[in-house]
Amino acid sequence: MQIVRDQLSKTKVLAPGDGTVLMVPVVEGQVAIAAASVNSGTTLMSIANLSKLIVETHVNQVDVSKLAMRQQVKLLAEALKDEEMQADTMFIAPIATIRNGIKGFTVRAAIAKPTARMRTGITVQMTIPIAHAGDAVAVPVSAVFKGKGNARVVYVRKGTKTEKRAVKIGVSNTEHAQILQGLQLGEEILLTEPERATKRS
C-alpha cells in the first residue's frame, strides 16, 4: 500500500499560485517528464491571474523618449469598443528591437481595473498621452506650411487680402497643431497656399 500511496502522491501537481487555467497542452496517457538541469520538463497547463492583465506593445524609437514609468495610458479593445480602460506603464525595454521593419521598444502596461468582459489575447489600442495643451489656439496641420529655414507659416485672410504670417508651433498630432505665437483666436486661415491655388486655377 505504501508504494501505491507514493505513486499517487506523485500524481498530485500544485500550482505555484492562484489563477485561471488557460491551456492544457497534454493529453490523457501522455508521459510527463520532470524538470531537470538539461530540460524544462513537460508543461501540464498554463495558468494566469486574470485580475491583473498586462498589455504589451511596440513603440517607435522616435516616441519612446517621451514615455515614463507609471505613466497612465488609455486602452480600447476592438471587441469592447464601448468600454475604455486605464493602465499604467510598468516596463520600458532598455534595448530596441525591430518589428515589421520598425525599430522601437517593447512597452508593457498593467490594466488598473480590467472590465469583466476582457479576455487574454484580445487586441487593444493603446493611447499614450505625451503632451497636453489646454485653452490653446489650434489649426489643422494641413494649414501650416514651411517658410524660410525651419520657420513655419500660415496664411491669414483679412477681407479680400491674404497675409503670410510666421507662427510658433507647440504641441501637435496628426490632425491639429497648437499655435503659441503669431495667430489670434477667431482669425481666418487658408488650408491651401495661395500660390498653389492660383496655379491650379
Per-residue pLDDT of the chain (201 residues; tens, 9 = 90+): 788 888 777 777 788 888 888 889 998 888 888 787 778 888 888 888 877 889 999 998 888 888 889 999 999 887 887 788 899 999 999 999 999 888 999 999 999 888 878 888 888 888 887 777 778 899 999 999 988 888 999 999 988 889 999 999 988 877 889 999 999 888 999 998 887 544 444
Contact 166, 147 (CB under 8 A): yes
Q: Which CATH superfamily is domain 54-127 in?
A: Efflux pump adaptor protein, beta barrel domain (2.40.30.170)
Residue 4, SS3 per DSSP: helix
What CA–CA distance (Å, rounded) separates 110 from 94? Answer: 18
Contact 64, 108 (CB under 8 A): no
The reported pTM is 0.56
Angle 118-81-22 from CA coordinates, rounded to 5°: 20
Is there a shared CATH topology between the 54-127 domain and the 137-200 domain? no
Query: SS3 helix, strand, coil % of the chain, rounded to 5?
Result: 10, 40, 45
Instruction: Give 185's Cβ-side CA count (13 Å radius).
Output: 3
The domains of the chain are located at 1-49, 54-127, 137-200
Q: What local confidence, expressed as pLDDT, does residue 201 receive?
A: 46
The 8 Å CB, 24+ separation contacts for 116-119 are 117/80, 117/83, 118/53, 118/77, 118/80, 118/85
Q: What local confidence, expressed as pLDDT, does residue 156 receive?
A: 94
Is the domain spanning 137-200 CATH 2.40.420.20? The answer is: yes
